[in-house]
Chain A
Amino acid sequence: MEATIERENAEKRMDDIMGRLLRTGVILAAVFVLAGGVVHVARHPQPVTDYRVFHGEPEELRTVPGIIHEALALHGRGLIQFGLLILIATPIARVAFSVVAFLHQRDWTYVVVTLIVLSLLFYSLLGAHT
């Protein structure tokens, strides 16, 4: 019985931290997207992209190092893309946190489960997709 209560307490704490993590990620992402948006609109009064025809983003707005570089240069589009990168990273951070939490609970089955999900997410963001 005591073990069950302990497990429930551990899970409650885990839920709390997860909730805070998700909220912080979304707010941070929105702040960067908004700031980048202001810069973008101010610097480019005339539209830069015709959205009716697809031609894809330039290399520097498609890779993690490229986006970080563009954001550090304070380019509007780079800042927006950096905010979106934080947004994509938020669920990934949540899964990474779960790996640690399950390790702490010595729940090996779920350590493996979460590691599989985490590697799929890393493959998505860092793998070569052509």
Chain B
Amino acid sequence: MNTLEFTAVIGLGGLVAGFLGALTGLGGGVVIVPLLAVVFGVDIHYAIGAALVSVIATSSGAAAAYVREGYSNVRVGMFLEIATTVGALVGAALILHLRVSIISIIFGVVLLCSAYASLTEHTHSGANDGRDPIATWLKMDSTYPTANGMESYHVRGVPQGFVLMFVAGVLSGLLGIGSGAVKVLAMDRAMKLPFKVSTTTSNFMIGVTAAAGAGVYLRRGYIDPGLAMPVMLGVLAGSLIGARVLAVAKVKVLRLVFSGVIAVLAAEMIYNGLK
């Protein structure tokens, strides 16, 4: 394969990964790593390096739109970013101490869990009326736009959210992914933020978490320009198309099929790790 063919094939793979990532809500990074590692036989260090860079691109692109709509809670995001960035640095340091087979198995398990979580219907955990002393001190209570105008909400469970965010950061730095699923879990379940606020604030945070990991990856030489170029451009384009499709089409069946494909990739990664 010459350079042009290689670039085109990987770019197309990135496009598909970005598209699937947007439709399933898993994010492009988590789909491109197994695609590169399992289908193209790319070493996992190069794969996660290219993936994490594309995560920054898609999350910053999406956050640019969300942040102006007034859903995301900047204070909650900024405070929890302390946990995710420390976690990302710890995760990136862990790579040096774990065998590739172990990283591959962890990746497969995380991917399977995220695919499962994205398929289960979201049930809201109920309104939260009381004030929480820590959240009040950190001025986290805020408002968000709803069909009935601006509605105010309270935040709670800051310590639990902080711990979960640390875990999300470790996974992000270790696996080159955005770990949006864990971030939403922390804010939606533990901190009782409205769902729309959780998802947009998570998106807002993913870029900063990924930047913390990507800095270390760059310094260690995991980010190869020849590979990251088609991956980043492909995933970015694919996720933009995916977001458009998501806005106009009913994609329930498609999501089910795609999650199946992703589950197969995840199983393959676990199998390769165990081999």
Considering only CB atoms and an 8 Å cut-off, how many residues of chain B contact the other chain? 63
A74 within 8 A of B: no
Chain A: number of interface residues, binned into ranges: 35 or more
Q: Do B70 and A15 touch across chains, with their CB atoms under 8 A apart? A: yes
Q: Which A residues touch B81, using CB under 8 A?
A: 95, 117
Q: Do B208 and A57 touch across chains, with their CB atoms under 8 A apart? A: no
B214 within 8 A of A: yes
Q: Name the CB-closest residue of A to B237.
A: A30
- When the two chains form the complex, which single residue of B60, B75, B78, B232 contacts A84, counting CB atoms closer than 8 Å? B232
Q: Name the CB-closest residue of B to A125.
A: B215
Q: Do B212 and A129 touch across chains, with their CB atoms under 8 A apart? A: no
Q: Name the CB-closest residue of B to A48.
A: B226
- When the two chains form the complex, which single residue of A12, A61, A87 contacts B232, counting CB atoms closer than 8 Å? A87
How far is B86's CA from A64's CA once the two chains are assembled, in angstroms?
Answer: 22
B242 within 8 A of A: no
Fill in one digit per residue for B8-44: 1 if any A CB lies within 8 Å of its CB, else 0.
0000000000000000000000000000000011111
Q: Do B64 and A19 touch across chains, with their CB atoms under 8 A apart? A: yes
Q: Do B229 and A33 touch across chains, with their CB atoms under 8 A apart? A: yes
How far is B209's CA from A120's CA once the two chains are assembled, in angstroms?
Answer: 10
Fill in one digit per residue for B80-98: 1 if any A CB lies within 8 Å of its CB, else 0.
0110011011001000000
Q: Which B residues touch A40, using CB under 8 A?
A: 3, 225-226, 229
Chain A, 9-55, CB within 8 A of any chain B CB: 11-12, 14-16, 18-20, 22-23, 25-26, 29-30, 33-34, 36-37, 40-41, 44-49, 51-54
Q: Do A30 and B57 touch across chains, with their CB atoms under 8 A apart? A: yes
Main SS class of interface, A: helix
Q: Do B63 and A22 touch across chains, with their CB atoms under 8 A apart? A: yes
Q: Which A residues touch B226, using CB under 8 A?
A: 40, 47-49, 77, 80
How far is B211's CA from A41's CA once the two chains are assembled, in angstroms?
Answer: 27
Q: Which B residues touch A69, using CB under 8 A?
A: none
Contact flag A57-B224 (CB < 8 Å), given A41-B7, A121-B215: yes
B157 within 8 A of A: no
Q: Do B223 and A98 touch across chains, with their CB atoms under 8 A apart? A: no
How far is B75's CA from A104's CA once the two chains are assembled, in angstroms?
Answer: 15
How far is B4's CA from A41's CA once the two chains are assembled, in angstroms?
Answer: 6
Q: Do A117 and B211 touch across chains, with their CB atoms under 8 A apart? A: no
B273 within 8 A of A: no
Closest CB pairs A-B (n = 7): A56-B221, A124-B215, A125-B215, A57-B221, A80-B225, A22-B64, A91-B207
**What are 12 sample pairs from A and B whose C-beta atoms fall under 8 A apart?**
A22-B60, A22-B61, A22-B207, A30-B232, A36-B225, A51-B227, A57-B221, A62-B219, A76-B225, A124-B213, A124-B215, A129-B216
